[in-house]
Amino acid sequence: MSDKDIFRFAPSPNGALHLGHAYSALLNRQMADKAHGTMLLRLEDIDTTRCTTEYEMQMLQDLHWLGIQWSEPVRRQSAHFDDYRQALDRLQAMQLLYPAFLTRGDIRKFVAAREGAGFQWPRDPDGAPHYPGVERQYSTGQRQDLIGSGKPFAWRLDVKKACAMADDPIFWEELGRGPIGQTGRIKAEPSIWGDVILARKDVPTSYHLSVVVDDALQGVSDIVRGHDLFHATSMHRLLQCLLELPTPRYHHHRLLQDGFGRKLSKSDGDTSIRQLRARGLSADDVLALCESSQTI
Ligand code: GLU
């Protein structure tokens, strides 16, 4: 593995590249240049229904148009399901996973019943209720019977057990800032996520699992991304500990907002690079827009 600093820009090709992406890609490029390092491009396309080759082609074209360069080869996650499977097998051998059968509707009902009875149900940083984990206690036989019945299931991490098995406490080095200014040595709190999905019902991996596997396989030393993923780092650090993967440095940057103070999104066509280009902005104009909001 190279001893150069390795950065990566890792968009999901499930919509148009917008100004927020351009900002993140540019920041990665600038930081890699400053460190005389490398910047990789990774397409996080495990969701094979929402990610399309059309969006992917557009993203690559938009990045080219902006003049943001990366080192080849581009890694497409959908071509590496075997790598994620190996990591999943390892966690399975450590008995940290269980098959989870509840549908979204089941979870909603379960949580509504608890909350209706006056209990406060924990929610993750994105506001989703923690998985009830009813299958955690099932015997191997019960699990096998359910799997054998053909009912769709996801593999979930038993986060409490996982935390007990990993180093305690776990930290990361934050060179940027979290949503409320967190910086420096940050203590990971993976249990805020509850029992996350590591392999989905329809896809043999998940965002959390594939991102840590890829960052390690690609030798990424510096992760520069939006602070909407700041809390996800807690889960990534736990998985890195369990899988004995190296710890990258993290730099979360602020998110560009629209005129209403909302985070830019892929559905917000106005700030897509294509739209800006169609409105007559040059690549330099777009990069200047990114630069002008570049307080990191
Ligand atoms: N694919 C993720 C996204 O587009 C970014 C993942 C990461 O940088 O860790 O939001």
pLDDT digits over 19-50, tens only? Answer: 999 999 999 999 999 999 999 999 999 999 99
Q: State mean pLDDT over 97-122.
A: 96
Closest Cα to atom 4, ligand 1: which residue? 11
Q: How far is the CA of 12 from the centre of ligand 1 (A)?
A: 7
Who has greater pLDDT, 267 or 157?
Answer: 157
The atom number, within ligand 1, closest to the CA of 21 reads: 4
Confidence category of residue 256, pLDDT binned at 50, 70, 90: confident
* Residues with a CB atom less than 6 Å from ligand 1: 10-12, 44, 211, 225, 229
pLDDT of residue 60: 97
The atom number, within ligand 1, closest to the CA of 215 reads: 9
Q: Is the pLDDT of residue 294 over 60?
A: no
Q: How far is the CA of 125 from the centre of ligand 1 (A)?
A: 16
pLDDT of residue 296: 43
Burial track 19-28 (b if 16+ CB lie within 10 A, e otherwise): bbbbbbbbbb
Q: Is the pLDDT of residue 258 over 70?
A: no
Closest Cα to atom 10, ligand 1: which residue? 11
Average pLDDT, the chain: 93
pLDDT of residue 289: 87
pLDDT of residue 188: 98
- pLDDT-above-90 percentage for the chain: 89
The atom number, within ligand 1, closest to the CA of 232 reads: 9
Who has greater pLDDT, 55 or 3?
Answer: 55
pLDDT of residue 271: 81
pLDDT tens digits for range 170-192: 999 999 999 999 999 999 999 99
Q: How far is the CA of 10 from the centre of ligand 1 (A)?
A: 5
Q: State mean pLDDT over 194-217.
A: 97
Backbone angles phi, psi at 121, to 5 degrees: -100, 135
Q: How far is the CA of 34 from the centre of ligand 1 (A)?
A: 22
Q: Is the pLDDT of residue 65 over 70?
A: yes
Evaluate if pTM is beyond 0.85: yes
pLDDT tens digits for range 158-167: 999 999 999 7
Q: How far is the CA of 11 from the centre of ligand 1 (A)?
A: 5
Q: State mean pLDDT over 94-102.
A: 97
